[in-house]
Structure 1
Amino acid sequence: MKILFATAPGYGLTLPIIPLVWAARAAGHEVLLATAAEVAEASAGAGLPVSDVFPHRDVWQDLVASVTGDDTDEAAMPEEYRLARRGNGPFALFTATMTEGTIEAGRAFGAELVVTTSDHATGMLTAAALGVPVLEVGNRVSWSMRDIDWRTGHQDMSGEDEVTRVMREKLGIGQAIARPIARIDPRAPSMGGLHPQDEHPDERDGVPWWPMQFVPYNGGAVLPEWALYRPERPRIAVTLGTVVPSVNGVSSLAAVLAGLGGMDVEVVLAAGTADLSELGELPANVRSVGFLPLSAFLPSCSAIVHHGGSGTTAAPLFYGIPQLILPGFADNPVSAQRVVDRGVGLSHDPATVDADAVRSMVQRLLTEDSFGKAAAEVRAEMAAQPSPASVLARAVEALNRRL
């Protein structure tokens, strides 16, 4: 079977479903991943055939510019592009820029099934345009970022936005609707997800929901030797992900590093390509590693401090690691609240956090047994969920019954 995977061009929007693409390929299916910007190259690095469906501009940089107020001249842009850039966050922009190319890629590939993330309206529009079934996959602790305001965290379940309706008309899709085979929920049961025995149809449209085990994928790397060993003193991971530094800079790291610098711990700072010069000299117990996949060293960590990105929240859950979240924007506050409510970590407003607060909260994560116990429980829940391979096989079986 030929399966088109359609994802939005953010690391946290694409990497969570790479294991599902691997499962399809390992099962003998032909696969093609349709995405854009630097995530296209990153996905190719995961060993996948990739179509860059919007190679003409860097849509991710356009997104950052629209959020930071550094917009470029819109005069030469299509109507839907200008409309999307003035709208609520990135997802309308992705719909405007990526839908036509994704449909073209799917048609040329001969896609028989579209698998798309719940954030990405382009995937649903592509399945509708091609007249093929679709499998919708959640990639967030909050289920779908598309329902959350990029800046405020406010949830909006109003349905298709204006840009989606414009693209339907422009591309001749009309009112065609792609009916999902199922909606795949990778969340731990106690954090909003499904128990295998609790599978149920969606009350809105009767589409079944299936649970799936979250498998972390953060990229590949040649591991440094130290990452293979658990250190003598607690190892603390620190990251702001890929989006927060682009939008808000790294100033929130100052309090984190000052707090951790005064503790008897080893700190691994994974800040990617972010400019850390404003932080000055780093504390002696901080190891700055640039980009190093979290899955490379999280198993040897005792805690993690991060921004609340959904993938960054889910990875320590998979490994049973307590976490401190300093939530940024978008769904970051939702992730933080889920972590606090489940008892697997703590949260604090990054605008008011200081070194003493960081030190106190991390000390609690290291010394209070309840956090580690809750994290271990969630890890066990996730391990009991159906694997991506079994979910993919189930979807193909359901599709074959339709034919």
Structure 2
Amino acid sequence: MRVLLSTYGSRGDVEPLMGLAVELRALGVEVVMCAPPDFAERLAGVGVPLVPFGPSASELTRSAPPPSGLPERAAALIADQFEVVTEVARECDAMVVTGVLPTVAGALSVAEKVGVRAVSVTFQQLTLPSPHHRPLAYPGRSLPADETDSQVLWDLDALTVNALFGEALNSNRAANGLPPVADVRHYVLGDRPWLATDPVLDPWREPAYFDVVQTGAWILPYERPLPADLVAFLDAGERPVFVGFGSMPMHGSADVAAVAVAAVRAVGRRVVVQRGWAGLDAVDGLDDCFVVGEVNQQALFGRVAAVVHHGGAGTTTTATRAGVPQVVVPQLADQPYWAGRVADLGVGVAHDGPTPTAASLTSALRTALSPGTRERAATVAGTIRTDGAAVAARLLVDTVTREGQPA
């Protein structure tokens, strides 16, 4: 059996698929991934072949196209998928598809074109229509704040998705001999999408508008040791606070780094700063600050006093599993939701807004570092599942094997 994993996005979109790839290979499945070129080295490290498509995801993120440019960018990405992914998909028995919505629609269209079974997966539930939460608003297309009828809001969301991506998708489908899609969101989600999140950290609530398969989070065991100089820093004093914002560009990053370092120092802690896509760096030459690049967060988070981060699904799950208190400074999309879940579970603090000051971050850190939060974080850590990728791998193999049998 050969499975194609397809995504376009940040590390949070790619790394869970790597976790799934490892579990699929343990079942004897051959795996190949189509993803942005940014992750070639990371995928090579776990032996997953990469077929790159599209421009660099980090460069696209930093360029921050205006909302008016979304349809054009979507059309180009979908065209790249038809050009690159189609040939790979022809040699596969199934596809697992995730990432930003228009590229999911493109990958599913490729699967339709070549006649391969495909599963649509999301790593956060806010894009799944539900009476229990509002849709995420797209840039430049806010939802009416005073509207409380869930069905109305989700109908508006479907209209927005069609307006943004319908032409981009259907022009590419027409060029490839496929009929138009009337409802892009429904096409992407299907009747039974997979939700690859932890049921404690991200509970799917019933009743819902349709069936969802929640597998648990797809976690890649990361065996890479911490750099020797980082280990020496960790060993040289009390546990530091980690500060990192992943794939967020964090405009004014020098100010963000200065604010974060000042806040950590104000609570009497040393600090580990991760550069990330924002390029954060040390603000002075003092030896209480250590700067890292790509690092094994699973190993590092177990050795820090608290984690200050942007609220990506992967980072939130990793920190929660590690039992370390969190301060989430959400920037966009689903990140306010994860910040709220951290606060609701009592394992950390949701910062009010995307731009911290030294005072606001210091206050949040004092709460996160309190004994009560530390104890709660340790307790919740023991409830987070670690078998989500294994569950999904077995489900996929069983489904493909069953459907491949003659009637």
> What is the TM-score of this pair, normalised by structure 1?
0.79
The 1:275–1:373 alpha-carbon spacing in structure 2 relative to 1, beyond 3 Å, is: closer
Check whether the contact 1:216–1:318 (CA below 8 A) recurs between aligned residues: no
Check whether the contact 1:9–1:36 (CA below 8 A) recurs between aligned residues: yes
Check whether the contact 2:240–2:304 (CA below 8 A) recurs between aligned residues: yes
Decide which of 115, 118, 124 is 1:134's aligned counterpart. 118
Q: Give the partner amino acid of 1:359.
A: T
- Report the equivalent of 1:28: 28
Q: How far apart are 1:234 and its partner, in Å? A: 3.0
In 2, the alpha carbon distance for the partners of 1:103 and 1:326 equals: 39
Q: Give the partner amino acid of 2:193.
A: R
- Report the equivalent of 2:392: 391
SS at match of 1:33: strand
Decide which of 235, 256, 280 is 1:252's aligned counterpart. 256
Q: Give the partner amino acid of 1:103.
A: T
In 2, the alpha carbon distance for the partners of 1:113 and 1:330 equals: 29
- Report the equivalent of 2:150: none
| Residues 137-184 of structure 1: CA deviation (Å, up to 9, x unaligned) | 22237467xx64465796874155222222222222225869969533
The 1:275–1:115 alpha-carbon spacing in structure 2 relative to 1, beyond 3 Å, is: closer
Check whether the contact 2:126–2:334 (CA below 8 A) recurs between aligned residues: yes
| Residues 369-403 of structure 1: CA deviation (Å, up to 9, x unaligned) | 1x2344334423322x6441232112211222223
Check whether the contact 2:309–2:327 (CA below 8 A) recurs between aligned residues: yes
Q: How far apart are 1:39 and its partner, in Å? A: 2.1
Q: How far apart are 1:90 and its partner, in Å? A: 7.1
The 1:241–1:217 alpha-carbon spacing in structure 2 relative to 1, beyond 3 Å, is: farther
The 1:118–1:273 alpha-carbon spacing in structure 2 relative to 1, beyond 3 Å, is: closer
| Residues 252-275 of structure 1: CA deviation (Å, up to 9, x unaligned) | 222111111233323111114754
| Residues 226-277 of structure 1: CA deviation (Å, up to 9, x unaligned) | 54977752321110212324x5534222211111123332311111475456
The 1:141–1:376 alpha-carbon spacing in structure 2 relative to 1, beyond 3 Å, is: farther
How many pairs are equivalent? 373
- Report the equivalent of 2:63: 65
Q: Give the partner amino acid of 1:372.
A: R
In 1, the alpha carbon distance for the partners of 2:236 and 2:191 equals: 46
In 1, the alpha carbon distance for the partners of 2:257 and 2:398 equals: 48
Aligned 1:268-287 pairs, distance under 5 A: 268-272=272-276, 274-276=278-280, 280-281=283-284, 283-287=286-290
Q: In the alignment, is residue 239 of structure 1 matched against residue 249 of structure 2?
A: no
In 1, the alpha carbon distance for the partners of 2:170 and 2:363 equals: 50
Check whether the contact 1:7–1:13 (CA below 8 A) recurs between aligned residues: yes
The 1:180–1:380 alpha-carbon spacing in structure 2 relative to 1, beyond 3 Å, is: farther
The 1:169–1:116 alpha-carbon spacing in structure 2 relative to 1, beyond 3 Å, is: same
Q: How far apart are 1:17 and its partner, in Å? A: 2.0
- Report the equivalent of 1:173: 178
Q: Give the partner amino acid of 1:242.
A: S
In 1, the alpha carbon distance for the partners of 2:57 and 2:249 equals: 17
In 2, the alpha carbon distance for the partners of 1:3 and 1:388 equals: 14
- Report the equivalent of 2:184: none
Q: Give the partner amino acid of 1:402.
A: E
Q: In the alignment, is residue 3 of structure 1 matched against residue 21 of structure 2?
A: no
Q: How far apart are 1:113 and its partner, in Å? A: 0.3
Q: In the alignment, is residue 114 of structure 1 matched against residue 91 of structure 2?
A: no
In 1, the alpha carbon distance for the partners of 2:17 and 2:328 equals: 23
The 1:106–1:241 alpha-carbon spacing in structure 2 relative to 1, beyond 3 Å, is: same
Unaligned runs of 5+ in 1: 70-83
In 2, the alpha carbon distance for the partners of 1:262 and 1:295 equals: 26
SS at match of 2:213: strand
Q: Give the partner amino acid of 2:263.
A: G
- Report the equivalent of 2:336: 333
- Report the equivalent of 1:77: none
| Residues 172-223 of structure 1: CA deviation (Å, up to 9, x unaligned) | 22258699695332323233335xxx9x99744x5x5132244256794653
User: Root-mean-square deviation (CA), in Å?
Assistant: 3.5
In 1, the alpha carbon distance for the partners of 2:361 and 2:294 equals: 23
Deviates more, 1:134-143 or 1:262-271: 134-143
The 1:358–1:64 alpha-carbon spacing in structure 2 relative to 1, beyond 3 Å, is: closer
> What is the TM-score of this pair, normalised by structure 2?
0.78
| Residues 18-45 of structure 1: CA deviation (Å, up to 9, x unaligned) | 1101111121111110112312343233
In 1, the alpha carbon distance for the partners of 2:22 and 2:215 equals: 18
Q: In the alignment, is residue 295 of structure 1 matched against residue 298 of structure 2?
A: yes
Deviates more, 1:165-174 or 1:25-34: 165-174
